[in-house]
Amino acid sequence: MAGVGIPGRIALGTRRHGSGYDFCCVRKQERAVQVDVNYGRYSRFVISVPDGVDAQEQADRIADSAGIARSGPAPDDPI
């Protein structure tokens, strides 16, 4: 799909899989947040976040920017 990557360093773009599409912007050795989407073209957004940044806050910002209503953590997510 559309995107760019440097093997072992960064991946940016759209990834296709059996459940639909993902938008990814990930860097090597950085944590990433995943925002699942229940409607639209994308199944999830996967975005790297630098050390020292609150991952939950970033996930909320991504969801807000994309107009995704937050449903709360999944029942099996650690609190």
In this predicted model, what pLDDT tens digit does every residue of 35-61 receive, in sequence order?
888 778 888 889 898 888 888 888 888
User: The whole model's pTM is what?
Assistant: 0.69
Q: 41: left (phi > 0), else alpha (psi -120 to 50), else beta?
A: alpha
Q: What are phi and psi of 68, to 5 degrees?
A: -100, 125
pLDDT tens digit string along 31-41? 888 888 877 88
* Per-residue pLDDT tens over the stretch 1-10: 688 989 989 9
Annotated domain spans of the chain: 3-66
In contact, 20 and 13? CB cutoff 8 Å: no
